[in-house]
Structure 1
Amino acid sequence: MDHKRPRFPDQDIVLVVRNPHRAGALGKLLSAIGEVGALVGDLTTRSVSPYHSIREITVSVYDDDHLTQVLAAIRANTEAEVVETCDLVFARHQGGKIHCGRKQDIKLLSDLRYIYTPGVARVCRTIQRDPSKALELTGIGNSVGIFTNGTRVLGLGDIGPVAGMPVMEGKAVIYDQFVGISAVPILVDTKDPGEFIDTVVRVAPTFGGIHLEDIRMPDCFRIEDELIRRLDKPVMHDDQHGTATVLLAAVLTALRHTNRDGRRDLVCAQIGLGAAGFGIAKLLIQAGFKVLGVDRNESACARLENVGGDIATLEDAMARADIVIATTGVVGLIKPEMIQKGQIILSLSNPIPEIFPEEALDAGAAYAADGKSVNNALAYPGLFRAALDGRRKAITPAMKIAAARAISSLAGPDELVPSPLHPEVHKAVIAAATDAFKREEAKAK
């Protein structure tokens, strides 16, 4: 198995191709594309003449070099001419993915007087007398600020806040479409944690909740802890807690698929204690699992021990664990000979995991999956919706655990977790998180 590439090409390109209109020409073209390892998707015929046809052909390639190979193969082996190429991802980003819209129309002069001056002055005075009214009379109660400094973006590293904006816009689209929250990306141009914290605190009155995204370790821990202490509204670092919630759901599903549903006497190995790995380990501990952590960073290991985890070597963890979760980004870290019969292996690094699921299964794993389906978009929209609707001051561990159970319950027989497009999943997360918080409140009384 090629450990230098993902299992399947996933960069979608539309080729606009002018091809001779005769028997066998299209088949020859598609064969040329397939012979260099590209996948063919949709075909759309634009036009047909007695001599030529023009078609849009969607092909999936690994990267730009692979696309170059595809184009060369078409030139060398067919009479077709590629007249245009379109990268579907870049096409979706032209002009950005979000805009600032309105909920009210101004059609009459009276509309202007009600929405703006002079009518707005009475609303301002009402909020001045009772600041809590801002949650009812403005958009604050339905808004989340997405704050980043771009120091740890996806698998790209420190690319800066502006280069990270497409990620933040994507998060905002997800918030709006799935749960109706108005989310606003805020790019904070500093690497100093203190400056970042002060910036968020000063801007925080604009929003009902604070979503932290793509901030490097260990700054992300200090920033989140300090903002939770200083602000009276929900604050969540999604790379930790959104990911952890979905991963806990994945673990619960994997246990169900292997007839171990409900067991908490199992040992989980968390290999890699970065932001996501630590968040996963911490939530697993809070959910009642024993966790072994593996990391070369001593401070990361100490952080896990402080929340009740144990530290092990990679070899020891692989030998002892019933469930292995890897978030290291190190391709091929887990060797087939390390796998124990009956283990659950979740190797989550993208685009290439620590071990491919097929390799783990061949080596004796009872269940194995990669990170392709473990999307934190399953968790954070519903968690924040529940927090905003209930005027919660925090997103608690109980809310995350309840959300994970709800997500897992909707996974199909062949799924690790459901798709974020599942029609019921976000409603289920909202309901579960809301119920969990209400139970916490009742216990506290």
Structure 2
Amino acid sequence: MSNAESFADADADLNRAALEYHAKPVPGKTAVEIKKPAATQRDLSLAYTPGVAEPVRRIAAEPSAAYRYTNKGNLVAVITDGSAVLGLGGVGPLASKPVMEGKAVLFKHFADIDVFDIEVYARHPQEFIETVRRIAPTFGGINLEDIAAPHCFEVEQILIEELDIPVFHDDQHGTAIIIAAGLLNALELQGKRLEDARIVVLGAGAAGIASIRLLMSLGAHRNNIYAIDRQGVIHTGRRDLNPFKFGIAADTDKRTMRDALVDADVFIGVSGPDLLPPDMLATMAPRPIVFALSNPVPEIRPEIAWGVRDDMIMATGRSDYPNQVNNVLGFPFIFRGALDARASRINEEMQIAAVKALKDLTHEPVPQSVLDAYGLKALAHGPEYIIPKPFDPRLRERVAPAVAAAAVASGVAPAAPAN
């Protein structure tokens, strides 16, 4: 059986299981639970009228009291327009609902954060922005999800500026944070420095652009990063670039991915399946790093890549290979830290704190519970362990406090938020 047939059979089995999982025993993946007693007449008089009037008066007099008397401080909106859903494209808001419910499951399971998933029909980004603006008082944070580039950049920036709660587009920054953490460890293992590394990024959408921006903030040199879109290398001489692509353009005479990959130290793929030919991989520098993150089929399949280079470190977006770049390592704990600190935004300092916490965690001994969860006898910092595993119980206790501390230190959260 060929690799392609093997992938197809596995996908068919997974699809059948997924439909069963979503439909039974009841449709959907989330529900609302009651957190206070509702068994007696007095319980109901406290939960609703007349007792509810007193917290209403307190919040009207002091809006921050909503964090004391309502669920606002632990409630996040996972919200989308359905314009860029997974690898399926613009399937629309209703079809995106299983994904948004799934994100809610991850928030609750990993960080005990409650979520309302909200799917918005919006013909224009401004309609979407206005919808989020109007519903924002309900929430302690906004997780933007599956919004197509380049509109996602504008949507996020406007909402960050206008709202007083954290707004975070996970497809941009969540992916970038996990990539950066893994890459810093991989560079260390390969005896290279971010400041000197030549990096090729295939894909100039939300994840690609955000990753480049974050890597530059961490020390990568702009003219050593070659972003590739459908027209080739994004360089300063091009006249077809929107402001977001121009912000990552390199001053270079390289024009094609083949040009860019010669002697490159790093390849990061956030694009599509089978787009890195083996002969191009062969031209990369000694001890290369390959992050082929297209899912479910990477830009180059690991078994093919290893047949070309035995000196590389590789990561994918798949759970059945080592070094899975998975956003669940980031967003639940980033929001947990932001909510705990009562931050008004998630800024670059908080993102970098998350990168460093994730990077450092892989240098520590791995708990037995993680080994048991993945059926492993041993796991240690090295070429097949450059980022933590999603079921590592230490993620919440390391990443969330680091993010909260960075929020306070950078001035976007009070030093001691009130209860």
Q: TM-score, normalised by structure 1?
A: 0.78
Partner of residue 282 from structure 1, selected from 189, 195, 213: 213
CA deviations over 1:238-275 (Å, ceiling 9, x no partner): 10011111111111221233244x65322222111111
What is the alpha-carbon distance in structure 2 between the residues aligned to residue 302 and residue 334 of structure 1? 30
Amino acid across the alignment from 2:74: N
Change (3 A) 1:204 1:86: closer
Which deviates more, 317-326 or 159-168? 317-326
Change (3 A) 1:182 1:300: farther
Give 3-state SS (helix, strand or coil) of 1:62's partner. helix
Structure 2 residue 279 is matched with structure 1 residue 336 = yes
Percent identity over the alignment is: 38
Structure whose residues are more often strand by fraction: 1
Change (3 A) 1:251 1:431: same
CA deviations over 1:302-344 (Å, ceiling 9, x no partner): 5244257556531232114211101111424333344323211
Larger Rg: 1
Structure 2 residue 188 is matched with structure 1 residue 256 = yes
Structure 2 residue 356 is matched with structure 1 residue 405 = yes
Correspondence for 2:297: 352
Report if the CA contact (8 A) 1:193-1:219 is conserved. yes
Structure 2 residue 407 is matched with structure 1 residue 437 = yes
Q: Gapped runs of 5+ residues in structure 2?
A: 232-237, 319-323, 363-379
Change (3 A) 1:132 1:307: farther
Matches within 5 A, 1:275-424: 275-290=206-221, 291-296=225-230, 302-306=243-247, 312=254, 313-339=256-282, 340=284, 341-364=286-309, 365-372=311-318, 373-411=324-362, 412-413=380-381, 414-424=384-394
Report if the CA contact (8 A) 1:378-1:426 is conserved. no
Report if the CA contact (8 A) 1:293-1:301 is conserved. no
Correspondence for 2:68: 136
Report if the CA contact (8 A) 2:182-2:386 is conserved. yes
Give 3-state SS (helix, strand or coil) of 2:268's partner. strand
Correspondence for 2:366: none
Q: Gapped runs of 5+ residues in structure 1?
A: 12-60, 68-84
Structure 2 residue 15 is matched with structure 1 residue 90 = no
Give 3-state SS (helix, strand or coil) of 1:100's partner. coil
What is the alpha-carbon distance in structure 1 between the residues aligned to residue 199 and residue 405 of structure 2? 27
Matches within 5 A, 1:17-416: 61-64=9-12, 87-94=16-23, 95-260=27-192, 263-290=194-221, 291-296=225-230, 302-306=243-247, 312=254, 313-339=256-282, 340=284, 341-364=286-309, 365-372=311-318, 373-411=324-362, 412-413=380-381, 414-416=384-386
Change (3 A) 1:130 1:307: farther
Superposed CA RMSD:
2.6
Aligned length: 372
What is the alpha-carbon distance in structure 1 between the residues aligned to residue 257 and residue 280 of structure 2? 13
Give 3-state SS (helix, strand or coil) of 1:202's partner. helix
Give 3-state SS (helix, strand or coil) of 2:410's partner. helix
Change (3 A) 1:121 1:153: same
Correspondence for 1:425: 395
Amino acid across the alignment from 2:265: D
Report if the CA contact (8 A) 2:226-2:249 is conserved. no
Give 3-state SS (helix, strand or coil) of 1:191's partner. coil
Report if the CA contact (8 A) 1:336-1:360 is conserved. no
Give 3-state SS (helix, strand or coil) of 1:428's partner. helix
What is the alpha-carbon distance in structure 2 between the residues aligned to residue 354 and residue 283 of structure 1? 22
Report if the CA contact (8 A) 1:244-1:279 is conserved. yes
What is the alpha-carbon distance in structure 2 between the residues aligned to residue 196 and residue 337 of structure 1? 41
